[in-house]
Chain A
Amino acid sequence: GQNIDQPTEMTATEGAIVQINCTYQTSGFNGLFWYQQHAGEAPTFLSYNVLDGLEEKGRFSSFLSRSKGYSYLLLKELQMKDSASYLCATNAGNNRKLIWGLGTSLAVNP
């Protein structure tokens, strides 16, 4: 089967660093995505990892370990506007559909 797990909720303080973990089990693997979704809005693309290692993009970084079926999204210098749901998704299988986790709701407090 195919499964993605990520924490349901996290809370952090403005200016801090937070790490959101994602573990996945898929038949075949073609990359792992992180999307950000603010309440009532569409998901927006944050990062894509297909090889092991860390990808850094400004305040956001994403890490992948294919052997462990594990990824994390690291958010630095948190801002209030970072309060959102963070969705982990993998691109697996022959039809290349994205399989999504349930999302991690991050609340950034002052």
Chain B
Amino acid sequence: DAGVTQSPTHLIKTRGQHVTLRCSPISGHKSVSWYQQVLGQGPQFIFQYYEKEERGRGNFPDRFSARQFPNYSSELNVNALLLGDSALYLCASSFDSGANVLTFGAGSRLTVL
């Protein structure tokens, strides 16, 4: 059974560009959360989605947005990229919005030049 899958695994963008990151949760999991992890730090919560609705939002600017599709997959969009957006973006899935154990994907490593 496939775990949490994310794409792309690596990408390079320039300042001002836009990026879309994709995540497919574990089969049967209905909640997807997005985290940003800067090198040497712990993950920072960005969003949680459950049943296509936003259930939580972290302290990130409006340039960050996300959505969840009927098949529970999710996209994270970041507009007007800044150098500081360079990070590992982790997607995690769980069965429901209250389930606490998260299973993480391998992440998408974004480099902004």
Interface residues, chain B, CB within 8 Å of chain A? 33, 40-45, 48, 55-58, 90, 97-98, 100-107
Interface residues, chain A, CB within 8 Å of chain B? 4, 30-31, 33, 41-45, 48, 87, 89, 91, 95-103
Task: Evaluate contact between B100 and A42: CB separation under 8 angstroms.
Answer: no
A/B pair count, beta carbons within 8 Å: 53
Select which of B42, B58, B97, B101 is within 8 A of A87 by beta carbon: B42
Please measure, in the bound complex, the distance between the C-alpha atom of A30 and the C-alpha atom of B56, giving whole angstroms: 16
The interface residues of chain B lying within 8 Å CB-to-CB of A30 are 100
The interface residues of chain B lying within 8 Å CB-to-CB of A45 are 101-103
Task: Evaluate contact between B55 and A95: CB separation under 8 angstroms.
Answer: yes
Task: Evaluate contact between B104 and A44: CB separation under 8 angstroms.
Answer: yes
Task: Evaluate contact between A43 and B104: CB separation under 8 angstroms.
Answer: yes
**A43-B90, A44-B104 are contacts. A98–B97 as well, Cβ < 8 Å?**
no
